[in-house]
Chain A
Amino acid sequence: MISFPPGLILIVAAVLLPLMRSKKAFNTWALLASVSTFVVVLLTYIGGDGIGDYTQSCEYALLPGLGDFHITLELMQLNAPTKIFATVFSLMAIVGVVYSFNQDRRIELPAALLYAGSAICVTYAGDLLTMFLFWELMAVGSAIVVWSGGQKDSARAGQRYVAVHLLGGAILMAGIVAYYVANGDLALPNSPLTVIADGSYHASAMVEYLTSNNIAAWLIMIGVLVNAGAPFLGAWLPDAYPEASVSGTVFLSAFTTKTAVFVLMMLFAGADVLVWVGLAMAIYGLIYALIENDMRRILAYAIINQLGFMVCAVGIGTPLTLCGASAHAFASVVYKALLLMAAGSVLYQTGKRKCTDLGGLYKTMPITMICTLIGGMTISAMPLTSSFTTKSLITSGAALEYELGHNPLYMYAWFVLMAASAGGALYAGIKFPWLVFFNKDSGLRPSDPPKNMTWSMIFLAALCVIFGFPGISELTLYTILPFAPMVPGHGAGAEPHLYSTWSASHVISQFALLAATGFVFFSFVKTLSRTVTITIDSDWIYRRLIPSYVWGGLLLPAVRWLGKGHEFLLGKVPGMIARGVQSDVIEERVNKSIELGGTTIRFSFHFRDNRRRDWAVGGVLLVITVMLFMYLLLNFNAI
């Protein structure tokens, strides 16, 4: 049996990777590491009895000397959703490595492997601390990936990225500490839901903490939502991802957000608040993707839009929707990477990022164009693509939950998700390919990208189609889902059966939806394609508001003003008092003014020597006296 989390292979390999001098050895080593990780991931669950088969704990006195703070790190636990997440993560590591074969940045790939390895380790975590450690390691790896992007704004974007993730990590850590204080135990149960024999289930302890408004649960949730790209917390995503390199973005799109979904699923399955968050994300991602012009930013917002589905599904929290969330995570990692690879190929070949600068590339980049179309169809949940199954698991789960409990929340969820799904078709399925590959002729004549990039795209495109084929998902994906996706049978006494997407009504309604979307797009194609836009997102808060307005406009003046007040109180007042007492030393009368906010306050006082400020100790002496009196007065009646 495998007794270590497979991600460690990648982490160790990443550390050794910079030692490989020649390009060939470098690539071979990276490929070897990622392939063996994939194999080991498969070995961890193939042949076992299933979930919770074995755990590998590692007794470790964390930071010896911190008192009785000895912690057992459960490095290796096969959690219910681990199988599918770890599989897709390790698969993406392989494809990402192949795609970046022709990159010549020596730091990016090691960082990306570290990042991928830690993401895999997060899925095998058996307690919150292990999860947190690898979570932070992911942040380190991904930040380096952003930093080595080589785009003109990479350094600054990386800086903001680090700041946001440090903050998110700190909040998460605070939550974990609070949880430890409240709970006394950091262990993670190996399944998001405790399923009881008759098919009913109850939610995790963390959700109970959430409903009782324990601060621990809220802090942890906020910390995780930062990584999930929730509205207001997640503006780092479209800020940083497009600034990474062509290959870096592919890695970035796969791990951080999907790990966040994994953690949300493990901790907060069935928390209603996540339904709202998820819906907000779906809508917010959609709107921004529609008005954005930079092709990779469009796709970055598309990630948020698609994440909305998963977060919402986690919030609904039935076995069926959790299956939907994991399966959709799998599908969306694949097609999002595919689309970003396609966009990356276009950028790599043309050096242009804005849709308005591109167009008419279909003739010279046919393979990229076809792959983009497949990716676009998949994101639109076109029948015969993988996400037709996976998205339907989510929407059907919402509908089913509404039928069972008549909670209107799930009805809203269903409506919004259907609308957002159609919207997804609008921006990524049609807008992106249309503006880049068709539309007007930009005059650019780039060829398809180098072989390794082309083949990675073809491979992912093939995955999108294969898993969409009727019957294939049931044989493959279904077996590694956290639960068996069962739906109750219709009519009295009917047995529950395995969920299937392929009903005539469903297929027809999906086509109708997509057709309507297509109609909308081509009616408004002029409006949509003319957008040379720079969208403002909540990252404005820390790009502009905090540095310029809060720091530069508010805090700094406040500090300066305080400094003036301080100077006045400590530098001038004592002198004034002194001179007031011994009035014979007055030599001059000077008017001084102080700016307070906008109003000028004028002081007129007697004044002897202007240069005393450098030497002034009078102020401090006054403070000393005040302190002494304070002690005496405070305690005058104490004894």
Chain B
Amino acid sequence: MIDSIPALMVVLPLMAGVITVFTGKGDKPWAWATAITGIVFAMSIALLAEVTAHGPVTYNFGNWPSQYGIAYTIDAMNGFVLFVVSLIAAVTTYYSRLSVKDEIPNDRLHIFYALWLLTICGLLGITITGDTFNVYVLLEISSLTLYALIAMGYRRDRRALTASLRYVILGSVGASFLLLGIGYLMMITGTLNMVDMHDRLQVLIHNDEYSRTIMVAYAFLLVGLSLKLALFPLHMWLPNAYTYAPSAVTGLVAATATKVAVYMTIRFLFGIFGRDFSFGAVESSDVLLTCAGLGVLYTGIQAARQNNVKSVLAWSSLGQIGYIVIGFSLNNENGLTGSVVHILNHALIKGGMFLALGCVAYRLGGTRLTHLKGLGRKMPWTMAAFTAGGLGLIGFPLTGGFIGKWYIGLGALDAGNWLILVVIMLGSLLAVIYVFRVVYAIYFGEAEPDSVHATEAPASMVVCTWILIGMSLVCGLWSEWSVDLAANAAKAMLAGFGGAH
């Protein structure tokens, strides 16, 4: 059983997703999805424990040798990301029952949860696989289902449709860039397996063969990945997609989709091309740092201008992605550790905050700033969660958001790049502005006539919100375990392919 967990991590939600269509009406699809994501979460814990204790795990599908078949390889890096994704998936699925019923036509709940499980399956698959073409396939699975999930927000706001369409087009462009890049690499290395590809690429780079081809492959992959992880200025698909998607979908996507894209980027840059090539032979460090740094500032200002709080958080996500990109672009252990640990902490914080907004939408039917005015008294628990999450976005010490920024800052110091520290400081200042703008409305605003009778959200929703926010606070106070895991992951990635040889 334990041996086949890597396969089950993907196959289970895939099969379950298809079966969901036949589960019938009412709460059944939700119960089914909750059970599946719960099992997946348990498996991810087992897998992470196994990887931490005994090193990388490899699973060959159909016992084909990894050169020919599909191999799943789990090391400290993707074990950690799998844990994050399945944790968020489990919590948001349990949360979603009332929120989804409220926002999705009730005759389509089974379709919704089918798509939902397939998205999760795709995200987990991208993370777990050790095969580059498999990455592309699973990326398509997760993206295509995600487009549909986002479009399902049309009942609340029809702009969900245009947002989704835009995401479809740009996402497809990104995916095709990835496919091109993978194709070039396959062409010159003759393999799709990541470990083999890494080894052969190192030989080729060392011998100075096919250098133009490698470089073009690199450019396609990096641009495609930047688009997928919504790096400024390739971020335009994200704000509207997050804003108009159904609440639960936003919670899931914001916490996982871009994080998985970040994982892919780290895997490709460090694990396949190798850090010497990615940050030595080609000039990507400066480009990435510039884009991410400008992105942190630009998105911070944009976030402070938004009137829909979901938009505020969406723009803020872009800024946080900027920090993560800064972290790994610094190409040192502290920076990479910061990136990886911020993947977890930001997922918890942003997931929790979007779920809190989902509670607001459930009670008030919208998440504009005016909806939140004076809610501090009406929905104290939800708003306390939102505020605690906001402190995390700022990077307030004792919250999860601080830990990642701290390590990224240390990484910048190690790299001797003071400008990055300034960017982090300014970014945090902007975060103070956009968070306190909302927090001020929550606690000091006068409630609008519509929200006078609002009451605290249902317990199941508030509890899920607090699970994520509470975990982010715990990770801020007792950060040892998460930082240890992240540091292991960072060491593995800096060493090349996770030591899976």
**A and B: partners?**
yes
Interface positions of A (Cβ within 8 A of B): 63-67, 155, 159, 166, 170, 174, 181, 555-556, 559, 570, 614-615, 617, 619-621, 623-624, 627-628, 630-632, 634-635, 638-639
Closest 10 CB pairs of A and B: A65-B479, A639-B211, A631-B219, A65-B480, A65-B483, A635-B282, A620-B236, A617-B169, A64-B480, A628-B223
Whether A170 touches B425, Cβ cut-off 8 Å, given contacts A65-B483, A617-B166, A624-B227, is yes
In the complex, A455 Cα to B402 Cα: how many Å?
48
The reply to whether the CB of B301 lies closer than 8 angstroms to some CB of chain A is yes
Taking CB atoms, residues of chain A closer than 8 Å to B481 are 65
Query: Are A639 and B212 touching (Cβ within 8 A)?
Result: yes
Query: Are B440 and A66 touching (Cβ within 8 A)?
Result: no
The one of B215, B301, B302, B402 in contact with A639, judged by C-beta atoms closer than 8 angstroms, is B215
Taking CB atoms, residues of chain B closer than 8 Å to A639 are 208, 211-212, 214-215, 281-282
Query: Are B166 and A632 touching (Cβ within 8 A)?
Result: no
Query: Are A615 and B162 touching (Cβ within 8 A)?
Result: yes
Taking CB atoms, residues of chain B closer than 8 Å to A555 are 301
Query: Are A614 and B162 touching (Cβ within 8 A)?
Result: yes
Whether A159 touches B440, Cβ cut-off 8 Å, given contacts A617-B166, A630-B287, is yes
The one of B211, B219, B413 in contact with A632, judged by C-beta atoms closer than 8 angstroms, is B219
The one of A63, A155, A166, A634 in contact with B444, judged by C-beta atoms closer than 8 angstroms, is A155
In the complex, A181 Cα to B223 Cα: how many Å?
38
Candidate in B220, B233, B305 with the most chain A CB atoms within 10 angstroms: B233
The reply to whether the CB of B237 lies closer than 8 angstroms to some CB of chain A is yes
In the complex, A155 Cα to B440 Cα: how many Å?
10
Taking CB atoms, residues of chain A closer than 8 Å to B305 are 556, 559
In the complex, A639 Cα to B222 Cα: how many Å?
17
Taking CB atoms, residues of chain B closer than 8 Å to A617 are 166, 169-170, 236
Nearest B residue to A170, CB-CB:
B425
Query: Are B236 and A628 touching (Cβ within 8 A)?
Result: no
The one of B220, B398, B402, B477 in contact with A628, judged by C-beta atoms closer than 8 angstroms, is B220
Whether A66 touches B173, Cβ cut-off 8 Å, given contacts A614-B162, A630-B287, A632-B215, is no
Taking CB atoms, residues of chain B closer than 8 Å to A64 are 478-480
Query: Are A627 and B208 touching (Cβ within 8 A)?
Result: no
Taking CB atoms, residues of chain A closer than 8 Å to B148 are none
The one of B281, B284, B432, B479 in contact with A66, judged by C-beta atoms closer than 8 angstroms, is B479
CB interface residues, B 177-230, toward A, < 8 Å? 177, 208, 211-212, 214-216, 218-220, 222-223, 226-227
In the complex, A617 Cα to B287 Cα: how many Å?
23
Taking CB atoms, residues of chain A closer than 8 Å to B173 are 621, 624
In the complex, A639 Cα to B407 Cα: how many Å?
32
Whether A624 touches B215, Cβ cut-off 8 Å, given contacts A63-B477, A615-B165, A639-B208, is no
The distance from the CB of B356 to the nearest CB of chain A, in whole angstroms, is 23
In the complex, A251 Cα to B433 Cα: how many Å?
29
The reply to whether the CB of B136 lies closer than 8 angstroms to some CB of chain A is no
Query: Are A631 and B218 touching (Cβ within 8 A)?
Result: yes
Query: Are B287 and A634 touching (Cβ within 8 A)?
Result: yes
The distance from the CB of B317 to the nearest CB of chain A, in whole angstroms, is 17
The distance from the CB of A393 to the nearest CB of chain B, in whole angstroms, is 40
In the complex, A159 Cα to B236 Cα: how many Å?
34
In the complex, A47 Cα to B216 Cα: how many Å?
79
Query: Are B301 and A559 touching (Cβ within 8 A)?
Result: yes
The distance from the CB of B426 to the nearest CB of chain A, in whole angstroms, is 11
CB interface residues, B 280-301, toward A, < 8 Å? 281-284, 287, 301
Taking CB atoms, residues of chain B closer than 8 Å to A66 are 403, 406, 479, 483
Interface positions of B (Cβ within 8 A of A): 162, 165-166, 169-170, 173, 177, 208, 211-212, 214-216, 218-220, 222-223, 226-227, 233-234, 236-237, 281-284, 287, 301-302, 305, 334, 397-398, 402-403, 406-407, 410, 413, 425, 432, 440, 444, 476-484
Query: Are B478 and A624 touching (Cβ within 8 A)?
Result: no
Nearest B residue to A558, CB-CB:
B301
Nearest B residue to A614, CB-CB:
B162
The one of A63, A170, A174, A632 in contact with B216, judged by C-beta atoms closer than 8 angstroms, is A632
In the complex, A166 Cα to B433 Cα: how many Å?
12
Complex A-B: 14 CB contacts under 8 Å? A63-B402, A63-B403, A63-B476, A63-B477, A66-B479, A155-B444, A615-B162, A617-B169, A619-B236, A623-B233, A628-B223, A631-B219, A631-B222, A635-B215
Query: Are A624 and B223 touching (Cβ within 8 A)?
Result: yes
Nearest A residue to B282, CB-CB:
A635
The one of A63, A174, A615 in contact with B479, judged by C-beta atoms closer than 8 angstroms, is A63
Taking CB atoms, residues of chain A closer than 8 Å to B402 are 63
Taking CB atoms, residues of chain A closer than 8 Å to B284 are 631
In the complex, A617 Cα to B220 Cα: how many Å?
19
Taking CB atoms, residues of chain A closer than 8 Å to B281 are 635, 638-639
Query: Are A627 and B234 touching (Cβ within 8 A)?
Result: yes
Taking CB atoms, residues of chain B closer than 8 Å to A556 are 305
Taking CB atoms, residues of chain A closer than 8 Å to B398 are 63
Nearest B residue to A615, CB-CB:
B162
Query: Are A638 and B166 touching (Cβ within 8 A)?
Result: no
Query: Are B440 and A65 touching (Cβ within 8 A)?
Result: no
Taking CB atoms, residues of chain B closer than 8 Å to A635 are 215, 218-219, 281-283
Other A-B contacts than A67-B407, A638-B282, 12 sampled, CB-CB below 8 A, are A64-B479, A66-B483, A155-B444, A556-B305, A615-B162, A615-B165, A615-B166, A628-B177, A628-B220, A634-B283, A635-B282, A639-B208
Taking CB atoms, residues of chain A closer than 8 Å to B215 are 632, 635, 638-639
Nearest B residue to A628, CB-CB:
B223
In the complex, A614 Cα to B406 Cα: how many Å?
39
The distance from the CB of B64 to the nearest CB of chain A, in whole angstroms, is 34
Taking CB atoms, residues of chain B closer than 8 Å to A630 are 287
Candidate in A170, A627, A628, A631 with the most chain B CB atoms within 10 angstroms: A631
The distance from the CB of B217 to the nearest CB of chain A, in whole angstroms, is 11
Candidate in A170, A627, A632 with the most chain B CB atoms within 10 angstroms: A627
Taking CB atoms, residues of chain A closer than 8 Å to B482 are 65
The distance from the CB of A562 to the nearest CB of chain B, in whole angstroms, is 8
The distance from the CB of A160 to the nearest CB of chain B, in whole angstroms, is 12
In the complex, A627 Cα to B476 Cα: how many Å?
36
In the complex, A619 Cα to B166 Cα: how many Å?
11
Query: Are A627 and B223 touching (Cβ within 8 A)?
Result: yes
The distance from the CB of B384 to the nearest CB of chain A, in whole angstroms, is 17
The distance from the CB of A214 to the nearest CB of chain B, in whole angstroms, is 15
Nearest A residue to B226, CB-CB:
A627
The distance from the CB of A628 to the nearest CB of chain B, in whole angstroms, is 5
The one of A174, A559, A615, A620 in contact with B234, judged by C-beta atoms closer than 8 angstroms, is A620
In the complex, A240 Cα to B191 Cα: how many Å?
68
The distance from the CB of A553 to the nearest CB of chain B, in whole angstroms, is 15
Taking CB atoms, residues of chain B closer than 8 Å to A63 are 397-398, 402-403, 476-477, 479
